Amino acid sequence: ALPPAPPRPPVAAGADEIDRVLDRGAFLSGRYLKVYEEILAVKAECGRARLKVIFETGELSTYDNIRRASWLGMLAGADFIKTSTGKVGVNATPANTLLMLEAVRDFRAQTGVQIGVKPAGGIRTSKDAVKFLVLVNETAGEDWLDNHWFRFGASSLLNDLLMQRQKLSTGRYSGPDYVTVD
């Protein structure tokens, strides 16, 4: 029997978006050039695929670090910046998302390049989502109110949206058997 074929790189397999988690160890120890070069190397492999750099903002500890990571990611070629994988203690918050929105707004003002933002983790209800959408509109502007530039990463939000839709159409909320359990 022939050995299995090596896996195809994601872009060669048709991926249109690549995720890269920021090397927080290097970043937090001040090795910004290493972090920049790693993101740059991944961007070089992306071809036409968009690069999303994920920060784990809850582990970056300070607002200055979140702002610095945002700029570092954008300067290295990120097409999208994301708060978190959703798998750590602190994920998307209005405060850390605000910092990232200010960064993309200011980056576009200085370079003419628009970068997307994706808050992920902790956005569980439709009411939470509306708060973030207001934050986007008031901080970055209407241009970001499009899924090409702003997305939520929140599976529990989908559950709430489905229940809200059911409530609008029938007058009653769905039971837990009609949505996924996270």
Full set of structural domains in the chain with CATH: 17-153 (3.20.20.70)
Position 4 confidence tier, pLDDT thresholds 50, 70, 90 = confident
pLDDT above 90 covers a percentage of the chain that reads 63
Annotated catalytic residue, options 52, 79, 82, 128: 82
Annotated catalytic residue, options 43, 52, 79, 118: 118
The question of whether 43 is a catalytic residue gets the answer: no
- Strand order from edge to edge, sheet including 17-21: 17-21, 50-54, 80-82, 116-118
Q: Tell me what pLDDT residue 181 has.
A: 59
Q: Tell me what pLDDT residue 161 has.
A: 78
Annotated catalytic residue, options 19, 23, 106, 143: 19
Q: What share of the chain is helix, strand, coil (3-state, %, to 5)?
A: 50, 10, 40
Within 8 A by CB and 6+ apart from 114, the residues are 104, 108, 143, 144, 149
Q: Tell me what pLDDT residue 157 has.
A: 78
Q: Tell me what pLDDT residue 6 has.
A: 63
Rounded Cα distance, 101 and 80, in Å:
11
The question of whether 82 is a catalytic residue gets the answer: yes
The question of whether 143 is a catalytic residue gets the answer: no
Q: Give this prediction's pTM.
A: 0.86
The DSSP symbol for 161 reads: H
What is the per-residue pLDDT across 78-123, written as a single tens digit (0 to 9) for each? 999 999 987 787 888 999 999 999 999 999 999 999 999 999 988 8
Q: Tell me what pLDDT residue 153 has.
A: 80
Q: Tell me what pLDDT residue 10 has.
A: 74
Poorest-pLDDT segment among 15-24, 83-92, 131-140, 169-178: 169-178
